[in-house]
Amino acid sequence: MAESEQRNPVKRGPTILVGLALLFSIASSVPAASSDSGQHRTQGVVPTPRIEPARGGTCPESPAFMRRNHMDLLKHQRDDTLRVGDRRGQYSLKECISCHASQATNSVAANSSNFCQSCHAYAAVRIDCFECHATQPQVKP
């Protein structure tokens, strides 16, 4: 085949047309963003977490601080507990559970409205704490 035949755009024309037709069909099947201000789309909307009030006492830090840093505080407390044997920290999971367990279920992760589960479901974060730890406060004798 001669070099001039390989560069001939007429021979590539059908391939380009098929590619453009495919691109157009894909683009037309994607739903456009709705600009209707009077109607709200409910499909795919994730409800904000419903956080039940704490049982009593106060958190050691502000809610904004705890939302952003609780995982680091719990990891640090975990390290102190495992390596040093100190279970008395103010950021212990036991203390969190004793205050934030639901009045209805007595748990922080029994259903989607409980304290830990509601926020973690909203943020799409898997909670692995309760694979080993209890979700309910210990009963005090």
Mean per-residue pLDDT over the chain, rounded: 78
| Model confidence band, residue 73 (pLDDT cutoffs 50, 70, 90) | very high
Instruction: Indicate whether 114 pLDDT > 80.
Output: yes
Please give the model's pTM, rounded to 2 decimal places. Answer: 0.59
Integer angstrom CA distances of residue 99 from 14, 35, 54, 78, 115? 69, 45, 6, 18, 10
Residue reference for tokens 């992760």: 109
| 8 burial via Cβ count (<10 Å: 0-12, 13-18, 19+) | exposed
Tokens linked to 95? 């203390």
Give the pLDDT mean for 11-19.
71
